[in-house]
Homo-oligomer: A and B are copies of this chain.
Amino acid sequence: MQTTSLTVEKGSVELGPNVLSGVSLPAAVVYEDPLIHNVEWMQRFAEAHGARLAPHGKTTMTPALFHRQLQAGAWGITLATAPQCRAAFAHGVTRLLMANQLVGKANMAIIATLIEQGATFYCVVDSQENVRQLGRFFAERGLYLSVLIEVGVEGGRCGCRNQQEIVSLAEAIAEEPALSLVGLEGYEGVVHGDNPESGIRAYAQYLVDVAVELEAAQRFSEPNPIVTASGSAWYDVIAEAFRGAPLQGRFTPVLRPGCYVVHDHGLYREAQSAVMARRPDLQQGLEPALEVFAQVQSLPEPGLAIVALGKRDIGYDQLPIPLRRYREAGEVAQPLSVTGWEVTKIMDQHTFLRLPEEAKDVAIGDIVAFGASHPCLTFDKWRQLLLVDAQLNVKEHLATCF
């Protein structure tokens, strides 16, 4: 027996075109209006700061969203792995910024093929050994590889730990005919310290200073070298540092937040509040666009509902947050209350909801909309999500390519 892959996936539309009637739940939905808002908002933000935007694609790995980001003006798409780059390129993304080290011959071969097929590709390096490996591999393939030096911090993740290492690495790159040093990369999300804000400001300034110094020493092999950093929590601080005089007109500053595209109801909502507090000039910030809908399957004890939603369906770095409740086939305009409802536990396929005393009308089959913290780890649970309008009508299936 065979069937098309679409029909065996979670969340496919079975009976009708609305999430409350006819969609097999659980299902992950992306609301179109806030999605459009977020895509445009961040594009405008980057442009207002003289920066290019290369949204991190690993968050969604959803080509339809990459296309929206590019159509809004994004310079390219950032990715984390060679297979992610291959997937994005296969769906028409031609400028790929791999904000990660490229290791392993199989992964190098994936990238070599993409370059042969016309991709504009960048990856980062932080060790002499990796530089030699890449230099040898791409020389043997008769190809050129553009690399950025990763600027790290002590106690952080990847990246050179000091300026001496950076300069030595630039020299090593210069010795590899197949490699071109085209910029610097950093990730401020791993900067720690008593005061994250001042730590990140100092780190951003360090990144700018090193870029200017390397350029003065003619270390870059192309004009307008790239300087890139920023996740979705501190992009404003990075953008301000990049907006300063030393980079403008001489470098290509690139911001690469990912989670902003659908935002969230946890970690990034808090981070965005902090952005808006730091930058009162910014109008109407990001809006959460991603929710997971699931149904009450059991009401086994007073005050306890078990929902057919699990770790297979939603990110659980933090417990999911109940947002609204609907009757199956009910009115979108009249959601029922979830005041006082609290998720106490999540298992592979079940979520435990503690209900307040007054929640007496809960019924088997009631549909609960949940928000999550950290969209990356919700997207990767789904082979497709549903793009919906404000009335929860399904407008499009958003296929992922994790």
Contact = CB atoms under 8 A, between A and B. Distances in A.
Interface stretch (A44-52, A140-148, A344-352): A344-352
Instruction: Determine the interface band of chain A, counting residues with CB < 8 A from chain B.
Output: 35 or more
A352 B10 contact: no
B101 A297 contact: yes
Contacts of A308: 81, 100-101, 103
Interface string A332-357: 00000000000000011110100000
A364 B103 contact: yes
A126 interface: yes
A4 B113 CA distance: 16
A13 B87 CA distance: 15
A354 to B, nearest CB: 12
B402 A109 contact: no
Contacts of A157: 298, 300, 306, 347, 350, 352
Contacts of A58: 312, 348-349
A239 B131 CA distance: 58
B295 A83 contact: no
A53 interface: no
Interface in A102-118: 103-107, 109-110
Contact of A348 (B9, B160, B299, B376): B376
Nearest to A130: B364
Contact of A14 (B5, B106, B129): B106
Contacts of A7: 86, 90
A8 interface: yes
B349 A109 contact: no
Contacts of A177: none
A22 interface: yes
A400 B25 CA distance: 20
A264 B173 CA distance: 43
Interface string A70-103: 0000000000111100110111100000001101
A300 B161 CA distance: 7
A83 B297 contact: no
B300 A126 contact: yes
A85 to B, nearest CB: 10
Contacts of A401: 8-9
A30 B26 CA distance: 29
Given A90-B1, A158-B300, A402-B383, A349 B100 contact: yes
B377 A348 contact: yes
A22 B12 CA distance: 35
A363 B110 contact: no
Contact of A301 (B24, B83, B154, B311): B154
Interface string A280-310: 0000000000000001111111000010100
12 contacts: A1-B90, A9-B402, A12-B83, A25-B107, A103-B296, A103-B364, A104-B295, A104-B328, A105-B328, A159-B300, A161-B301, A312-B376
Pairs A-B, 5 closest by C-beta atoms:
A158-B298, A3-B90, A8-B87, A101-B297, A24-B106
